Structures are given as structure tokens and as C-alpha cells.
Structure 1
Amino acid sequence: MIDHARDLVSVHDATERLLTAAAKLDNAAVTEPSRLPGWTRGHILAHLARNADALVNVLEGRPMYVSAEARDADIERDAPRPLDVQLTDVRATAARFQDTGAAPADWSRTVELRNGVTDSASRVPFRRWVEVELHHVDLGIGYELEDLPEEFVERETDFLAARFSGHPDVPSTRLTDGTHAWSTGRTADAPAVTVTGSRPDLLGWLAGRRDGAGLTTDGGPLPALPPL
């Protein structure tokens, strides 16, 4: 069962790790490319702040973003800001998200995210945890997939395997780290390929953060995954 209150604590801890690490940067480093194509580190910090605001909107029953264009424009607007402004914004918006999450609410209710996607309100804190952890890695400042909390890696791998489950463009695939296995893709078929590797490498591949070079298969190439 999803424990939203526990996830909120994990979000807070992950945010503090990110803020502490990012505080060691300088203004020039914020303008340098991140690991995400086309985005600087400033884009990532701006996105994290605006995403916190957007998830507050979700929890309070408003549209997550006014539009996709407005979302992108806000990130572009905020990306060039100095480091101190970026960090203040990330911290303040994170605090608003925590305050909203602490308010009495029906956590079993269904909420709407982007592009018509719906989910239980109880999963929103975990979705924020995903944003903070993976984008901390994307900053390229020494925090790697291997540094992610074990619980997070397992749960996000579960989530992404389920996301691709039944996808017509993904062949039936079995993922394993040697101790645990996940199934994804066209699961009605007999498994077409078994992909083996460490949990960080499996997560990195599923999340589009690694090309799968650290993974092996039981024959043939890695399946091609659609963008998230």
C-alpha cells in the first residue's frame, strides 16, 4: 500500500540532498549543459521549482499546467537565473508542496496530471520523489544512479516496468538483477528476451538515463523503448 506520508518524508530528504549538492555550484556552472539534451542545469532547477507548483495544483484540484506551451515557457524564463535565486525558488516551492501534502485530504481520490493521465492522490508524493531523484542525477554533479536509495530504485523500476507493460511497440521482456525479476512489454507473448544487469543499470535504461551498455540479453539486441 502506498504510504503518502512516508513518501513525503523521502521527498524532503531527497530535496535536501539536491539543494546541498547544488549549493556547491556557481553561477557559471548553472548555465552549463546538464545530462538532458538541450537543457542546462538551470533548466533542471527551474523545472523542479515549477513542477512542485504544478503538483500543488494537482493536489488542490487545479490543472497541473495551464498548457504545455506555458510549462515550457516558464522553464525557459527561469533557467538563466543566478544560483541563489534558483535554490531559493526550489526550496520555497518544495516547502509549499510539503505543506499541501500535510493538509488533511482524501488521499484515495483520483487526480489528473498532464496529458489526461490520472492517478491516486496518494501516488503524487512518489511522483515528486521521482522528479527530485532523477533530476539530481541529470544535473551531472556527482550524484549517480548507484547513489539512489534502494527503496526508490526498486519502486521506480516497478513503476516503469508496469508503464511499458502491454505496450504494442515493446516486445515481451523479462528484466532481472539476478535476485528479482520484472516483466514488461507485450506480456501476453512468450518472453522474447531476458535483460540482465544491476538495478541501477536496469533503472537507467528504463528511465532513458543509460543506453543499456551495462546490460546483457539472452540473445539479440536490447528492445527499443519508447520515450517516457
Structure 2
Amino acid sequence: MAESGGLLRGPEVWAYVLDGHERLRIALAELTEGKERGASRLPGWTRAHVLSHIEGIGRALTRQARYALKGELIEVYDGGRPARDAGIEAGAVRSAAELAAAVTAALAEAEAVWGSVGDADWDRPVRYRDGDLLGALHCWWRELEVHTADAGLETCSAAWPRELCLHLFDFLAPRAPAGLTLVESDGPVRYTFGTADGTEDPAGRPPVVRGRLTDLAAWLAGRRPHQRLDGLLPELGPWP
């Protein structure tokens, strides 16, 4: 049986997002010139690429909220995925100071818009996955935390709150083979994905992977855990 983090209420998610904003600001203060050209934890991307993406997705999801509050729908990116990718590449040529300023401005914009969302607004429709404002805010939480860790600055996935890890288990469940069980080695969480479908370890059992909650969440998100996981790691599917 899966232990789920559940879908948090808007104000609860927003409080975690604000914590993530603050940790990213602290990390950006350590971005000295030249450091932005270093490799990130994403293959093929420098820190500048990751920070450019954080800025772009932050502004895109803030735009979803701004228009939803006016009762209007707008695409996440004008021009779709090609425009998104081009924007990341164009933004990645900036200096450390320019990148830090741009990301900081995007965070301030997000706080101004998302901070104005009221209790009755969270189910307003948005274009993002044809969902609602609450789903869009969950997306910003994921993108913010996962890519802040990818940038390899001050913060990392080891700083992820438990609630984010449990949310990632829920959101990334389509990546996991049915029957996979994740067991928190230093806590109470035991999370099983669906029912066994024949994906088994050499002893003929559905796979069980044990580790710290943050390391389990990082692996499920396609990132390298900070500490070793115990168990046979099955192949994961694509990001949903």
C-alpha cells in the first residue's frame, strides 16, 4: 500500500515555495563570476543553462497565474517547446551577475503574483496540463527545487522537505515499475507503486529500494542520490 503525501492546499505549497525562493537567493549570492560556466548536475547543461531555465519556467508559470486571476487562459510558452529551448540557450550566455539578477527578478515577480492568489482562486483553470492554479503552483515547486539542486550551488536535494519528497513520489509514480517499493531507511515511509507486473529482483520478488527519503526522491526524479541506495534499482520510465 502506498503512503502518499497527498495534494497539499495552496497556502501550504506556497509556504514551501517561499522557503525554496529564499534558499535559492542564498545560493545565488555564492555565484561568483566564472562559476556559471561550470557543469551542472544535468548532462550537457552548465549552471547558466539551469539558472536560465529556472528564470524562464518561473516567469512562464507566474504568467499562468496572472492570466488565470483575470479569468483568461494563455499558453505556458509563446511558441511552445522550441521557444522554451531557444530562450534557455539565449539566456545561458549571460554573466553570473546578470543571471543572478534575472533569477532574483523572476522570484520577485512570482511572489507578487502568486502571493495575491486567494483561497477561492486555486481551482481557476490554466493552460498548463489543462489543469488549475494549484497544479501550476505544484509544478513551480517541483521545478524550483529540482533545478536548484541541479545547479549545484549552495542547496541540493538533501535539503528537500519531506513534503516535497512525498509529492514527487505521487507525481513521478508513472516512472516507476508497478510493484516497486521505496522504503525510508531512517523514517516511517514505505511507498509501493501499483501492483506487481512481473518486474522482479533476481529472487523473484518485486523490487524494494531502501535509503534516505531525499535520496529516494532524487533517484526517482532521475538525479544522483547523495548517499547510496540499497536494492536493485530498476529502469525508470520518462518524466510524466
Q: Distance in 1 between matches of 2:108 and 2:226?
A: 36
Q: Distance in 1 between matches of 2:223 and 2:88?
A: 21
2:131 is aligned to 119
1:134 is aligned to 146
Describe how 1:12-27 pairs up with structure 2 within 5 A.
12-27=18-33
Which structure 1 segments of 5+ residues have no match?
Answer: none
Is 6-15 or 74-83 further displaced after alignment? 6-15
Q: Distance in 2 between matches of 1:213 and 1:21?
A: 22
How many angstroms does 1:19 deviate by?
A: 1.7
How many angstroms does 1:216 deviate by?
A: 2.2
How many angstroms does 1:224 deviate by?
A: 0.3
Q: Distance in 1 between matches of 2:89 and 2:226?
A: 30
How many angstroms does 1:65 deviate by?
A: 1.0
Which AA in structure 2 matches 1:180? V
1:196 is aligned to 210
Whether the aligned pair in 2 keeps the contact of 1:31 and 1:80 (CA below 8 Å) is no
Q: Distance in 2 between matches of 1:15 and 1:225?
A: 29
2:122 is aligned to 107
1:182 is aligned to 191
Q: Percent identity?
A: 32
Is 190-199 or 10-19 further displaced after alignment? 190-199
Q: Distance in 1 between matches of 2:153 and 2:109?
A: 26
How many angstroms does 1:28 deviate by?
A: 0.5
Inter-CA distance 211–6: structure 2 relative to 1 (3 Å threshold): closer
How many angstroms does 1:84 deviate by?
A: 1.9
How many angstroms does 1:171 deviate by?
A: 4.1
1:144 is aligned to 156
Which AA in structure 2 matches 1:79? A
Inter-CA distance 52–213: structure 2 relative to 1 (3 Å threshold): closer
SS in 2 for 1:175: strand
Which AA in structure 1 matches 2:170? D
Q: Distance in 1 between matches of 2:143 and 2:170?
A: 16
Whether the aligned pair in 2 keeps the contact of 1:202 and 1:212 (CA below 8 Å) is no
Which AA in structure 2 matches 1:106? D
Inter-CA distance 212–227: structure 2 relative to 1 (3 Å threshold): farther
Inter-CA distance 171–13: structure 2 relative to 1 (3 Å threshold): closer
Moved over 6 A (4+): none
Q: Distance in 1 between matches of 2:155 and 2:107?
A: 20
Report the number of matched residues.
216
Inter-CA distance 112–139: structure 2 relative to 1 (3 Å threshold): same
2:70 is aligned to none
How many angstroms does 1:73 deviate by?
A: 0.3
Is 47-56 or 127-136 further displaced after alignment? 127-136
Whether the aligned pair in 1 keeps the contact of 2:175 and 2:220 (CA below 8 Å) is no
Which structure 2 segments of 5+ residues have no match?
Answer: 1-6, 68-72, 199-204
Relative contact order higher in (CA < 8 Å, ≥ 6 apart): 2
Which AA in structure 2 matches 1:54? A
How many angstroms does 1:112 deviate by?
A: 2.7
SS in 1 for 2:131: strand
1:224 is aligned to 235
How many angstroms does 1:211 deviate by?
A: 6.6
Whether the aligned pair in 1 keeps the contact of 2:37 and 2:46 (CA below 8 Å) is yes
1:93 is aligned to 106
Is 1-10 or 62-71 further displaced after alignment? 1-10
Whether the aligned pair in 2 keeps the contact of 1:4 and 1:123 (CA below 8 Å) is no
